[in-house]
Chain A
């Protein structure tokens, strides 16, 4: 049942973007040129509430021998913030079938919007402009379509999230890494704070880290590549220490945790610290 529902997103982004022949240096050049363009006319390219992310290259944490080492990502527009409770309320008002009392159990488990007081009232226990959580992948996908957008791919999300406030390669920003680690070392808050309180990252987006996990369109590609567990290097890497040898960077614990989190999910799951944001093709 679930397998069938997930089928549309099972195509690996690593797969169809694999054939890219440029040398990495060329990518850098392209990247720089793109930023220059973005600076020249940012308003023209990104809709309201979104920022423009120039084309770039994502190096997957996990890949099998047949997957590309680098994945090119085309320029896209990105929500500055995760979708909030207020934003999601508009969606369920307009789409009664996504209200808590009416949602099909196939598309959202019994935890769906469980923190809201009612179908159309987040209630006093919820901060209106905090990220919406307890939403399934199906719900997030429908929201995006309703908003004229789409969910991000893993490659897009990781490309954006790799950026610290000052640079695209946040892995070389010690303070940035420390802040991510701090989130992993602190308990979940009783009540999520509002979006946008922290510093924007290099691309102008907020809250990629330190607030909630986020759904991506192809969340299940991190784990599912074949029928048998044994035929996939990807899955082994998620479970045993020795398998991590195949990962791009075995010191990137934060990335391991994101991939681990995504691969623990099913599309109907609603989780307390899992929200989403949307993207749009330029």
Chain B
């Protein structure tokens, strides 16, 4: 960071830079576009080096050390990770389009294996692999010019490659475009990878690499940032309401493709596959093995947003889960939080169930009764009652019971109900718009939720209300279709305002 800011503050001329060149091999030829020299700031995930402010190309020195280290894979589970920079994923490298990178790969003396690096940002055979092949206790240097902007994966390419990558040897290098990337409030580094262990998920102790599982592409663990829980709880990435977050997302593989998704967020902008085209309003974006994506989104409301691979068994069973915690004031216009917590019993009784049979029997009985009494057909209110009973038997009895008694403490009674009979409009409103909140019926308090039955035709509502107002010991006038229409045309009552029903 110091080197970056120093350089940005006082760029030196190319001539001056020549005098300060280090001894040892350097890139062949003279590149007149280069000004100065700096050492890259490398960061461990989820941190990202600061944006590049300079407006010219420079020579950037990158020193990356390979270490084979035993670290935590999950609670009680350890693994010998092969790492670029001591962690998985490897250190984040940030350079600018046009920069000349002098790259040194050092292999720690305690390493068991030789390693190399293939940077996808390199234009050249092997992406640097052949020039960086390094025995334990040695280092290699090569140089490359960053010709193409983009977010690139780097990885070890030593045989057997699936094992080197499968042990954690991957990371990201960002080549910022000359014009820079748009300013954002937060930047983070998230990289997916999968691990193949001899033991099952969660099997404790130092786990061995399982070649057979790797060949079959059946990982034990699929994780973000190298271990189960690396982005969870205290280690979650954070933001504040109103900020714009940019995630540099990579997928090391070695085999699986990631369906990258943040639950409860829509990516306002993404740079698919880490390239230059901007795509907008994306829910889930595919990150190929050995590929990347950049996603940006503004966080509008507080809460915990879960980062997953939407191939969900990986998220649920193999560890592919992270968290973005957003702090700040609620914005109920964008998201209300839970408005209703209601019992839902279904519109109708299940076909063939005891209730269904009862309903059928009652309907048959009712039909028979109407048919056998010609007087009823001439009486409008009686017809309404009869038809209303049919509606009741289909829709209402499940909660209010066949006898209209309801369920103590849960479902208020209709039978001899003071609440029902004292306000006709209110009873219509309850059916049309639903109701919730605390009410008192026959001296007993209820605090439940009645679902709006607005899918019923006006006629059915008029009939069923006429039925209940004239059944179960109640006696009242009929409810007309006109009355129902009037109530339906009203705005629905505000939610969670049960008090108004008191």
**Partner-B contacts on A (CB < 8 A):** 111, 178, 181-182, 184-188, 229-230, 235, 237-241, 244, 251, 253, 256-257, 259-261, 263-266, 269-273
Which of the candidate stretches B154-162, B227-235, B336-344, B375-383 sits at the interface with the other chain?
B154-162
Alpha-carbon separation in the docked complex, A235 to B131 (Å): 12
Contact string, B224-256, partner A, CB cutoff 8 A, digits 1/0?
000000000000000000000000000000000
Report if B135 contacts A (CB, 8 A).
yes
Distance in angstroms from A30 CB to nearest chain B CB is: 32
Closest 6 CB pairs of A and B: A264-B114, A185-B208, A264-B135, A256-B159, A256-B160, A253-B160
| Inter-chain contact B112/A229, CB cutoff 8 Å | no
| Inter-chain contact A186/B80, CB cutoff 8 Å | yes
Distance in angstroms from A66 CB to nearest chain B CB is: 21
Report if B365 contacts A (CB, 8 A).
no
Alpha-carbon separation in the docked complex, A45 to B468 (Å): 109
Instruction: List 15 interface pairs A-B (beta carbons < 8 Å), by A numbering.
Output: A184-B112, A188-B112, A239-B130, A239-B133, A240-B126, A240-B161, A241-B162, A257-B113, A257-B163, A260-B113, A270-B137, A271-B136, A272-B110, A272-B136, A272-B137
Alpha-carbon separation in the docked complex, A84 to B207 (Å): 30
Closest to A259 in B: B159
Alpha-carbon separation in the docked complex, A225 to B25 (Å): 26
Report A-chain residues with C-beta under 8 Å of the C-beta of B133: 238-239, 263-264
| Inter-chain contact A185/B206, CB cutoff 8 Å | yes
| Inter-chain contact B207/A185, CB cutoff 8 Å | yes
Report if B129 contacts A (CB, 8 A).
yes
**Highest count of chain B CB atoms <10 Å: which of A184, A185, A257:** A185
Report B-chain residues with C-beta under 8 Å of the C-beta of A265: 135
Report if B410 contacts A (CB, 8 A).
no
Closest to B135 in A: A264
Closest to B114 in A: A264
**Partner-A contacts on B (CB < 8 A):** 68-70, 79-80, 109-114, 116, 118, 125-126, 129-130, 133-138, 157-163, 206-209, 211, 215
Report B-chain residues with C-beta under 8 Å of the C-beta of A270: 137
Report B-chain residues with C-beta under 8 Å of the C-beta of A239: 116, 118, 126, 129-130, 133, 157-159
Closest to A181 in B: B208
| Inter-chain contact B209/A181, CB cutoff 8 Å | yes
Given A181-B211, A239-B129, A257-B163, 17 additional A-B pairs, CB 8 A: A181-B208, A181-B209, A184-B112, A185-B207, A186-B208, A188-B111, A188-B112, A239-B118, A239-B133, A241-B162, A244-B160, A253-B160, A253-B211, A256-B159, A257-B159, A266-B135, A269-B135
Distance in angstroms from B140 CB to nearest chain A CB is: 10
Alpha-carbon separation in the docked complex, A253 to B160 (Å): 6
Report B-chain residues with C-beta under 8 Å of the C-beta of A259: 159
Alpha-carbon separation in the docked complex, A235 to B159 (Å): 11
Alpha-carbon separation in the docked complex, A251 to B163 (Å): 11
Closest to B140 in A: A264
Alpha-carbon separation in the docked complex, A263 to B135 (Å): 9
Distance in angstroms from B132 CB to nearest chain A CB is: 10
Closest to B211 in A: A253
Closest to B133 in A: A264
Distance in angstroms from B254 CB to nearest chain A CB is: 9
The verdict on A271 contacting B116 (CB below 8 Å), with A241-B161, A253-B163, A259-B159 known, is no
| Inter-chain contact B110/A184, CB cutoff 8 Å | no
| Inter-chain contact A188/B161, CB cutoff 8 Å | no
| Inter-chain contact B70/A269, CB cutoff 8 Å | no
The verdict on A240 contacting B114 (CB below 8 Å), with A181-B208, A269-B138 known, is no
Alpha-carbon separation in the docked complex, A272 to B80 (Å): 18
| Inter-chain contact B135/A229, CB cutoff 8 Å | no
Distance in angstroms from B212 CB to nearest chain A CB is: 9
Closest to A261 in B: B114
**Highest count of chain A CB atoms <10 Å: which of B69, B114, B206, B215:** B114
Report B-chain residues with C-beta under 8 Å of the C-beta of A272: 109-110, 136-137
Closest to A235 in B: B130
Closest to B70 in A: A187
Report B-chain residues with C-beta under 8 Å of the C-beta of A184: 112-113, 163, 209
Alpha-carbon separation in the docked complex, A229 to B131 (Å): 11
Alpha-carbon separation in the docked complex, A257 to B162 (Å): 12
Alpha-carbon separation in the docked complex, A181 to B208 (Å): 7
Alpha-carbon separation in the docked complex, A230 to B126 (Å): 11
